[in-house]
Each structure stands twice: as C-alpha cells, then as structure tokens.
Structure 1
Amino acid sequence: MKFLLIVLYDAGVYHSPKSFLTFNKALQYKEIILKTHAIFTGSELLSGQTLNSNILSLGRKWTEMGWKLESSSIIPDDPQLIKKALTLSLENHELTIICGGLGATSDDITRRSVAEALKLKINYSEKIRAELEEFMAKRQRIPQEQWLKNQSEHIESAKLLDNRTGLAHGQLIKYGSKLIALLPGPPSEFTPMLEQELVPLINSKRSFTQLNYIIAGETESSVERRCAEIKSEFPQVDYGFCAQPGIVKLSLRLPQNIDAKKITKLCEKSFPIEILSTPSLPEEILQLARQRNWTFASAESCTGGLVSSALTAIPGSSDVLAGAIVSYSCDWKNKYLKVKKSILNKFGAVSEECAHAMAEGLREKFKVECGVAITGIAGPGGGSDEKPVGLVYIASFIPNDILVEKCLFRGDRNLVRQHSVSHALNQLRLQINSHKFTR
C-alpha cells in the first residue's frame, strides 16, 4: 500500500459538523511504501495462557486509518528468534511493529535483541530515570538500582514514545529507509501508545487527506453499496471499512488533488441520518441529552447493565445518567418497574408489551426525559419456535413518545447483547433527532 511521506510546513484543520478533516500543505515530499508487519513477543502467547488481544487493536486501527497490516507473527522470549524475525521483516516491510518485552524483568529482552540485530548501541536515558524515580517517590517506594537501569535503557537514535498508562516507554527507530516501533505488551499500555503516540507520528507525515466517519445502524455491505456514487465519481479514493456491532467505521483516503469538501457533501448525502458527530453512540447520546438539558436512565434484562456501563465509561456522564435498573427476573420487572403481572402472564417477559411497560415504569421511577428498556433472549438456551434466541424488544422514549422495536440478532450470547446495546442507543438517537428541538 502506497502513500506519500511529506515534510510539513503548515497544517490547517477544517471541521465539518459530521467529520473531522485534516489538510496538509507540503513543500517537499517523496513516495514510500508503508508495508507493515507486527511481531508479538511472549512465550505466554504461544502456550495459550494469554490471548493476543493487541492484534485486534492494531488491525482495527490500521483498517480505520486506511492502512494495511500485511502480516504478523508470534515469537517466544528468545533473543535469536526475535532477531531472526526482525531481520526477515526488514527485508519485506517498511514498518515493523514489535510488541512486548519492554519491562525490566529477565524475560524482557526486546530492546537488547533489536539493538543487536541492528548493530546499534544501548543508551541510558536520564529523563526516563528521573520520571521513574518521581513515580516511585509518589508511591513511597524505593526502586532497585538495577531495575532503574534496565527500565531506562533505549536504543541509540530512537525516538521515545510516552507511556501514559504504564512505565515502559515505547521507541521508534529509523533504520535506513525502514521504521521499527517498539511498543509495550500489556493491552492497557499498547493500545493508548499505538493510538496516541505512534499513529499520530505516522499520520503527520502523510500527503493525503483522510476522512473518517462513524456510521450507525448499517451493515458493512450496506455502507459499501451506498458509497457507489462516490466511487463512481472519484475512483482514485481508497476506502476502508471496519464493522463493529451496530456501527461501521468508514475511512476515505483522498489524493491531494481531490477536494475533500466535495467528498464530504457526497457522504452526507449518502448517509443523511446515519453519520455520528461524535466518536461513539454513547457519546452521541450524552451530547444530544446535554444539548436539551435532558437526563437519561436505562432498564435492562438480557443486557445486564451494558447500556449504563457504556455511558459511565465516558468521563463526565454523571450530568446525564440518572440511574439504571437491571430487572432480570419477572419479579423485579413487576416490583421495581411496575410491569403488571397480567402483561407478564399474557405476553411474557420478552414481548413488545413488556418492553413498553418497562419504559413507562423507568420514566416514572427516575423522572427522566429519555432512556431505553431492553428485554430479550440472548441464548444459548431459552429460545423457542415462537421466540427464538436473538429475539430482543427495545423500547426507547423521549417526552410524550415511547417507541418499541422488535429485533432478531444473530450470533452468540455476547454478540446478541452487544448488538442490543448498539441498537438501543441508535434507536434513541434517531428518536431524539426526529423530535423538534428548540433551546
């Protein structure tokens, strides 16, 4: 996959209501090929003790950015194998990402293995050492000298990447025309460093414009089909699609000679109500509620609190989220949401009537302006011919309006629950947006 590496002298940002576009002005550039290979180190990844979730984060981010991860490999904690894997990657790829082995224990051997493979020196960073000493002092701990020394190592000429969630710094090494990035292994450190440090470094060098959209309520194939007009008019544009439950991330990479504003208008024409103005559905609901000074609550059965969990994962959500009820049993639906026993006996807990009554009870209990109620069969058991696994009724409400939708989701238990949450939030989003709004 090719892109243009440029030297930036100026950069401006154009903000669309429905997207964020970056325009780069360049005076110099040269063409390079960014073929990426990822090496994941750690014997625990091969023994089955640890799931390699970092490949998911990397693959999704590269797809989102419109880039291509060509291949990956898993290597045990063996210096010779790490050096061999790196040498092979350098022969065939322009960017090699090595994940893991940046700590200070005996099996953290990545830095020295890479330095030996590249015939580069290991240096010690006083800056890193000072940061580590300050970190330990705040926790009233005295670090061992050898630990400080090991953790302060970096490869000569490497650019240090800040670790905002841990202690091991990442490193970016320019080796001739190739790049090698060293990132920490724990997912809580790998993903933030990937997204907040490495990707911006690479992205700042591009000579193309990238448009990113979050499209809700559509499938990947539907999004691709609805991009037909754009593809027909602008065949030079590269497209990337990344599907997740309830949303599709659409990335468009534009050459410099294409007007991004024209593409933006076509996208907004193709997806008039589907494009989010925020990075996620929970953030979209919070924003819409804040604009109206509304509060939100949820009543959940088969999703077991996933809606409220999604909202509380967003910092500052307490000004919108009033509360939540997980009413898993019929008794709790009756006791806390005032769902009549006659409804439960006649229609069952998984029914349009029950979802509607749950929404009514929720609104009355919390005195909120908007919210969702979910009841369904997530599986794997509990289904029947009349009510199969994956059947979910979702009620959403705003002032003077309760909407109930019947859904049938495919997949295992977790996937049904995830789809239910995404659908519920998107259903409420559309309902709010259709409501006449005056400040």
Structure 2
Amino acid sequence: MSATIRAEVLTIGDEILFGQITDTNTQWIGTQLTDIGIRPIRKTSVGDNRQHILDALQEASQRVDVVIITGGLGPTRDDITKHTLCAYFGTSLEINQDALALVTSFFEKRGRAMTDLNIQQAALPLNATYVPNLWGTAPGMWFDHENVVYVSLPGVPYEMKNLMEFEILPRLKARFATPVIIHKSVRTIGIGESFLAETIAAWESALPEHIKLAYLPHFGQVRLRLTGTSPDEVVLRQELQAQVDLLVPQIEEYIFGYDGDDLETVVGTLLLQAGATLGTAESCTGGFVAHQITAVPGSSAYFEGSVVSYSNRIKTTVLGVSAQILEQYGAVSEQTAREMAEGARRVLNTTYAIATTGIAGPTGGTPEKPVGTVWIACATPDETFTQLLTLRNNRKINIELTSSYALNLLRKTILKTNLAVKD
C-alpha cells in the first residue's frame, strides 16, 4: 500500500482569529485533499505576525508532507505572507514577469490604473514556482523544500478554489503516489451517540485496520462515517459496502439515509414517490420546518404551504383548534398539536401535515412544562401521530431539534402509511 501523504492547512490573518470572518476554506480544502488520497491531519490558524507564521511553518514541516497556506497575499502592509516565506526559505522577492503580465492584463481589462502596490503583487520569492491566478491579482506559489511541498494561495474563497481545482490538485496528484481514500456515511436520527456506540460496539471492533469509524452528531442526528484507505478503489468500495450491509440490520429503525442525504431531501423523495402533498402548522419553530422543506429544489411539487400559528388566536381562527382544548390543556400539549396538524391538513388540503408547539426558551417554562417541552404531530387522511420531545434550555437548538424530529416523524409516518396501503 502507498505511504500515507499527510497535509496541514495553515490559515493566515488576524480577521480569522478575531472572528471577523468565518474560515470556510479549510473545510473545502480538506475535502479536496481527501478526494485525491492526501490525508489532512491538522489545521493551524495564525495572525499577521512574522514569527508566529515562521514557527507554524517549521512545526508543520516536522509532521506533514504538504502544507497548504491561505491568506496574507494582498497588496497592503498587513499582508506579510510573501516576505515571511522569503525569510523561511532564505531567499528574496523579485518581480516575476509572467505574474506581472497577468496582473497588468487584469487591470487593463477592467479599465483601472495599476498602483505600485499592485505591481508588487507580481513579486515572488526566487525559489517559488509561479502558479497563475486567472481569477484575481495575487499569484499562487509552490515550493518543494526538503521533501515537503508548500503551497501558498490567496484567502479569497473563489480565487483559492479555482487555483486548487485547476492548478494545485493536479500538481499534487502528479507529485505524490497516493492511496485511495473513500468515505461512506450512514445517517441516523432518534438514537443518542453513546447508545448508538454501545449498540454497534462489536461491529466497530471487528472493522479491518484500513477502515476507520467516526461519530458525527448534529441536532438529534448522528452520522456514522466510514473512511477506508486502499490502493484499489474497486475493492475498497466493495469492502465499505460490505461493512454497511453488516451494520444496517443492527440499527435499521434509526437510519434515514446515506452519504449526502438529509432529512428534508429524503422526505421530499418519499412524498414524490407516494404522489402525496404536505403542509405545516408551526408555533415554536416559527416557519423553520417550512424553510427546511423549501430549501430542497423541486419542493413545489409536494409542499403546499404553512400556517405559522404563533398565537392562540391564529390557532383557533385559522387552524380550528378548539378554544376548550387550549383552555383545558394549554397551547403546549398533545391535544393542541394534534388539532393543529389536522387543521393544517384540512385548511391546506394536503395528504400530510406536521405541527409543532412548544416552549423554545429561554423563558416561558413552568414546573409542569419546563423550557424544551415540545409536542409534534403528523396528520394523515386516517389518523394522527404525536410525539413528546424533552429538549434543552437553548432556543436556537430547540428550534432546529424540533424541526429535525418533526421531519423524521413525517418520514416514519409516510413509510408506515404507504406500507399499510400496500398490504
């Protein structure tokens, strides 16, 4: 098997450390490197400080084969990456004529005059291999030094991505003999991470050495990600599928999809296959369930609309929830959730309707119904299913968790009612 090629991503810029921008580059770079068989093992972020950058480069050189650097290549004084790279490699800057021609053309096409700072963007360390940037003014740079490849890229995401895709990834594939790395995911909901781990412990312990398992929890869901490494892609895909086939019978009731599936897409596919339609009645989620559903392209084929019945007045006048039910049981109750779902199905004239009502927090709870108490319901033409959720003392998390569980209740209801029809 080919030796593992390891990589580190080094992001440079005070704005990242200060939280002024979100670093989306590292996640994207990690995915791309994995796809070509290079394993990212670390991410390091440093500010615009010469010594900190030098230290980070030296440390990275001791543990990885590839260092991907982003940021600090702009024309202003705070962009110090090129000067620091010169210090690290013991060289100096010199205007690269190919880079200058490209920068000049960039400004000419836009009818803009170049400044001395713009011209200096064409200055590169003498030992750098110039990587043309057709999408901006900051060139990419490639260094092959003491068996470590260093790649310096602009921090602007669309410039970085284009340089990686069209220039850097092909060069890395040519430079290294890399193994195949493949991910396979099993998506679950309704089972906690620790209980899931206990349930599949024997299966996990029996995994072959070249297949690793990761638990990735997110808002009531746990994604089980298998990562396999092998020189033979065909054999590896077969091995990963064989492991999934062994896993599924142990946790089948909790699995809603695989790989890139998400709940809203899975639910949409089920509705399309059934020729069914959907509406929502939302109180504590304030339209978030409808937002998730309509984020799926083509959802207009099955989603009719939503009633955000935040007040009791809308619950009664629009959805037809009984005033007596509200008075006797309260807005946050199984009875109210049931009538909301049935009212939405009637008003919106849909096959299915889901409803949410609860105390999202951080205030509004009582000893009998603390913050995080939520009822959800799913109405069908024949019956209505309900579920009590006991969530957390965090409004944002409660809204997202409720939405996930409501979509999952719908998913299970569709499968159950479709099976009933087939029987």
**Hey, what does 1:308 align to over in structure 2?**
290
Q: Supply the distance in 2 between the matched residues of 1:194 and 1:291 (Cα, whole angstroms).
A: 41
Partner of 1:207: 180
* Among 400, 417, 423, the residue aligned to 1:418: 400
Distance in 1 (alpha carbons) for counterparts of 2:177 and 2:315: 53
Whether the 8 Å contact between 1:162 and 1:170 is mirrored in structure 2 is no
- Counterpart residue identity of residue 203, structure 2: I
| Aligned amino acid, residue 276 of structure 1 | G
2:16–2:23 CA contact under 8 A, matched in 1: no
Inter-partner Cα distance in structure 2 for 1:394 and 1:358: 10
Q: Describe the SS at the equivalent of 2:4.
A: strand
Letter of the structure 1 residue corresponding to residue 399 of structure 2? R
Q: Decide which moves more: 357-366 or 263-272.
A: 263-272
Aligned partner of 1:32 in structure 2 is 4
Number of the residue aligned with 1:227: 200
Secondary structure of 1:425's aligned partner: helix
Letter in 2 for 1:178: V
Q: Distance in 2 between matches of 1:161 and 1:427?
A: 49
Q: C-alpha distance in 1, partners of 2:342/2:153?
A: 50
Tell me the TM-score normalised to structure 1 length. 0.74
CA contact (8 A) 1:212 1:249 kept: yes
Distance 1:269 1:79, change over 3 A: same
CA shift for structure 1 position 296: 2.3
Q: In 2 relative to 1, CA 52–346 (structure 1 residues): closer, same or farther, beyond 3 Å?
A: same
Shift of 1:169: 8.4
Letter in 2 for 1:50: Q
Pick from 130, 148, 152: which aligns with 1:178? 148
Measure, in 2, the Cα distance between the counterparts of 1:204 and 1:302: 54
Name which of 212, 223, 226 aligns with 1:238: 212
CA distance in 1, matches of 2:192, 2:134: 37
Structure 2 counterpart of 1:244, one-letter code = H
RMSD of aligned residue pairs (Cα, Å): 4.3
TM-aligned CA deviation for residue 106 of structure 1: 4.8
* 1:30 positional shift: 2.7
Contact 2:359 2:373 in 1 (8 A): yes
Q: Cα distance, 1:350 vs. partner?
A: 0.7
Contact 2:130 2:140 in 1 (8 A): no
1:154 Cα offset (Å):
8.3
Determine the structure 2 residue equivalent to 1:82.
53
* Number of equivalent positions: 400
Shift of residue 405, structure 1, vs aligned partner: 0.2
When structure 1 is superposed on structure 2, of 167-176 and 266-275 the one drifting more is: 167-176
- Within 2, Cα distance between the matches of 1:193 and 1:321? 37
Distance of 2:361 and 2:261 partners within structure 1: 30
The structure where helix makes up a greater share of residues is 2
Q: Alignment partner for residue 302 of structure 2, among 301, 305, 320?
A: 320
Alpha-carbon shift at residue 120 of structure 1 (Å): 8.8
Q: For the residues of structure 1 that align with 2:92 and 2:302, how far apart are their CA atoms?
A: 54
Aligned match for 2:353, one of 371, 378, 383: 371
Aligned to 1:101: 72
Distance 1:182 1:255 in 2: 27
- Who is 2:382 aligned against? 400
**Per-residue deviation, residues 153-198 of structure 1 (Å, max 9, x unmatched):** 88854667998xx998877766554344556656x75997899899
- For 1:113-262, list aligned pairs within 5 A: 113-114=84-85, 117-118=88-89, 119=91, 124=98, 142-146=111-115, 156-157=128-129, 175=145, 177-180=147-150, 182=152, 185=155, 205-236=178-209, 237-256=211-230, 259-262=239-242
Q: How much does 1:389 deviate?
A: 0.8
Q: Secondary structure at the match of 1:101?
A: coil
Mean alpha-carbon deviation: is it higher for 387-396 or for 143-152?
A: 143-152
The answer on whether the counterparts of 2:133 and 2:163 sit within 8 Å (CA) in structure 1 is: no
Aligned position for 2:320: 338
Letter in 2 for 1:367: N
Letter in 1 for 2:400: Q
Q: Could you tell me which residue of structure 2 aligns to residue 42 of structure 1?
A: 13
Distance 1:289 1:131 in 2: 53
Q: Is the 8 A contact 2:13 2:71 kept in 1?
A: yes
What secondary structure does 1:214 align onto? Answer: strand
Post-superposition Cα deviations, 1:265-299, rounded to whole Å, max 9, x if no partner, equal 11222232414045211111122122223232222
* Structure 1 residues 117 and 101: alpha-carbon distance in aligned structure 2, compared to 1, 3 A threshold: same
Structure having the higher Rg: 2
The one-letter amino acid paired with 1:218 is I
How many angstroms apart in 1 are the aligned matches of 2:413 and 2:160?
34
Q: Distance in 2 between matches of 1:331 and 1:271?
A: 43
User: Could you say if the C-alpha distance between residues 358 and 114 of structure 1 is closer, same or farther in structure 2, counting changes exceeding 3 Å?
Assistant: farther
Give me the whole-angstrom Cα distance separating, in 2, the residues matched to 1:195 and 1:333. Answer: 53
Higher relative contact order (CA 8 A, sep 6+): 1
Structure 2 gaps, min length 5: none
Whole-Å Cα distance in 2 between the matches of residues 213 and 158 of structure 1?
42
Aligned AA (1:380): P
Q: 1:209 offset after TM fit, Å?
A: 4.2
Q: Aligned pair in 2 of structure 1 residues 374, 154: CA closer, same or farther (>3 Å)?
A: farther
How far is the alpha carbon of 1:31 from its aligned partner?
0.6
3-state SS of 1:436 partner: helix
**Per-residue Cα deviation, 1:346-390 (whole angstroms, up to 9, x for no partner):** 111111111111111211122122232111111111111100111
Q: CA deviation at 1:434?
A: 2.0
CA drift of 1:409 comes to: 1.1
Residue identity over aligned pairs, in percent, reads 28
**Match of residue 276 from structure 1:** 257
**Cα distance in structure 2, aligned partners of 1:194 and 1:391:** 49
For 1:194 and 1:388, the matched residues in 2 are separated by 52
For 2:256 and 2:380, the matched residues in 1 are separated by 21
Conserved 8 A contact 1:158-1:173:
no
Q: CA deviation at 1:81?
A: 3.4
Matched residue of 1:272: which SS? helix
Residues 219 and 169 of structure 1, relative CA distance in 2, 3 Å threshold: farther
